[in-house]
């Protein structure tokens, strides 16, 4: 386990992932019924963008750092819960911090909701457990996220989301994401799943999406954000999320915020996006 998210916190991939996560959380909060959010690869929860790790790569400057200038009003309205989550965490943890997915989830939990954060790195799991020890709505589990995914669904609330955000250190993890989404959606068909992936070799992502398109019995969206032409399969030229059982408004929302993010985050003048339906409604 070499991957440390502290080097990458707030980069362009985090921006897309966290914006989509907040849109799904907003949807879950629209009804009074409690929900559960399960984060299978949780990380540390809060990162300091002025710490040595973030400073060494400087990745956040080309991610969250480019969001300072407001977007058009309709895009800002969709980004408002994401910006509010960042502000909420900054108010508690310091003006140079950036929230990880557990902190973003926690910002949206109401009294009856639950957040379950799974992290395999022993120090990160301990840090996270310590951070949220006094919050009875949250639970931190030191476990393998893939195993936990199978064990934790369906949750007692029967309503909620699962974020799958692995580090992609091993070959074939994109295919593993596809297979895990298929299996999970059979076990808990009404859960909302967000599966994150990096885009280096676009053909690997296309293959995973085709498997899901053919095999899913539930609707899904493929949301890609490209910040560079995908010409070199060794470079991180984009990022994306598969959202199974997306809120019905998400496709229209993504058609608004994806082009804005692609334009703002493009590395060398090339920014592109894709919002594609997969599965039975694709
Ligand atoms: C991309 S980071 C997570 C970032 C986090 N979801 C966020 O958005 O802030 C991936 C995390 O998965 C952890 N990890 C690696 N292998 C794991 C496994 N098999 N099960 C659970 N966590 C794992 C890493 O230690 C790392 O913290």
Handedness of CA 72, 76, 78, 82 (dihedral sign): positive
231 is an active site residue? no
Ligand 1 contact via 118 beta carbon (within 6 Å) = yes
* Per-residue pLDDT tens over the stretch 145-194: 999 999 999 999 999 999 999 999 988 899 999 999 999 999 999 999 99
* CB 240, CB 224: distance < 8 Å: yes
The whole domain housing 237 covers: 20-46+109-281
Question: Within 10 A of 168 (CB to CB), how many other CB atoms are there?
Answer: 17
Q: Is the residue at 141 inside a domain?
A: yes
* pTM greater than 0.85 (yes/no): yes
For position 3, what pLDDT does the model report?
87
Q: How many distinct structural domains can be found in the chain?
A: 1
Instruction: Please report the atom of ligand 1 found closest to the CA of residue 118.
Output: 21
Residue 201 pLDDT greater than 90, yes or no: yes
* CA end-to-end span of the chain: 36
For position 282, what pLDDT does the model report?
74
Q: Is the residue at 72 inside a domain?
A: no
For position 40, what pLDDT does the model report?
98
Confidence of residue 140 (pLDDT cuts 50, 70, 90): very high
Q: Is the residue at 267 inside a domain?
A: yes
Q: Is the residue at 59 inside a domain?
A: no
Question: Taking residues 21-32, what's their average pLDDT?
Answer: 98
* Per-residue pLDDT tens over the stretch 87-120: 999 999 999 999 999 999 999 999 999 999 999 9
Ligand 1 centroid to Cα of residue 71, in Å, is 30
* CB 57, CB 45: distance < 8 Å: no
Mean pLDDT of the chain: 96
Tokens 């993504």 identify what position?
Answer: 254
Q: Could you tell which of 1, 41, 147 is best to mutate to test the pocket of ligand 1, judged by most ligand atoms within 8 Å of the CB?
A: 41
Smallest CA separation from ligand 1 atom 25, residue = 121
Ligand 1 centroid to Cα of residue 43, in Å, is 5
Confidence of residue 281 (pLDDT cuts 50, 70, 90): confident
Q: Is the residue at 230 inside a domain?
A: yes
Ligand 1 centroid to Cα of residue 84, in Å, is 24
Considering the candidates 14, 62, 165, 224, report the single residue annotated as catalytic: 165
Would you put residue 109 in left (φ > 0), alpha (ψ -120 to 50) or beta?
Answer: beta
Q: Is the residue at 242 inside a domain?
A: yes
Q: Is the residue at 64 inside a domain?
A: no
Question: Taking residues 22-40, what's their average pLDDT?
Answer: 98
Burial of 214 (0-12, 13-18, 19+ CB in 10 A): exposed
CATH of the domain at 145: 3.40.50.150
- 92 vs 196: CA distance, rounded Å: 27
Residue 1 pLDDT greater than 80, yes or no: no
* Per-residue pLDDT tens over the stretch 206-218: 999 999 999 999 9
Q: Could you tell which of 43, 60, 82, 144 is best to mutate to test the pocket of ligand 1, judged by most ligand atoms within 8 Å of the CB?
A: 43
Ligand 1 contact via 165 beta carbon (within 6 Å) = yes
Ligand 1 contact via 1 beta carbon (within 6 Å) = yes
Q: Is the residue at 63 inside a domain?
A: no
Ligand 1 centroid to Cα of residue 167, in Å, is 6
């Amino acid at each position: 386990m070499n991957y440390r998210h502290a080097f990458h916190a707030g980069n362009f991939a985090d921006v897309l992932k966290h914006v989509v996560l907040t849109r799904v959380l907003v949807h879950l909060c629209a009804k009074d019924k409690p929900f559960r959010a399960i984060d299978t690869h949780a990380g540390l929860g809060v990162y300091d963008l002025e710490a040595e790790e973030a400073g060494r790569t400087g990745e956040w400057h080309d991610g969250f750092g480019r969001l300072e200038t407001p977007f058009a009003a309709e895009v800002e309205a969709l980004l408002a819960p994401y910006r509010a989550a960042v502000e909420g965490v900054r108010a508690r943890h310091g003006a140079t911090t950036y929230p990880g997915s557990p902190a973003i989830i926690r910002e949206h939990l109401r009294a009856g909701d639950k957040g379950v954060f799974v992290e395999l790195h022993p120090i990160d799991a301990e840090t996270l457990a310590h951070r949220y020890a006094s919050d009875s709505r949250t639970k931190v589990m030191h476990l393998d996220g893939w195993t936990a995914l199978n064990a934790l669904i369906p949750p007692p609330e029967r309503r909620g989301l699962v974020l799958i955000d692995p580090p992609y250190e091993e070959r074939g993890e994109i295919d593993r994401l596809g297979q895990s989404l298929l299996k999970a959606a059979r076990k808990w068909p009404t859960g909302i799943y967000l599966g994150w992936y990096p885009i280096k070799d676009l053909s690997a992502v296309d293959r995973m999406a085709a498997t899901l398109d053919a095999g899913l019995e539930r609707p899904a969206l493929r949301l890609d954000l490209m910040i560079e032409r995908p010409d070199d399969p060794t470079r991180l030229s984009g990022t994306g999320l598969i959202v199974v059982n997306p809120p019905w408004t998400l496709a229209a929302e993504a058609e608004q915020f994806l082009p804005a993010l692609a334009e703002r985050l493009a590395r060398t003048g090339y920014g592109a996006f894709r919002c594609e339906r997969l599965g039975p409604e694709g």
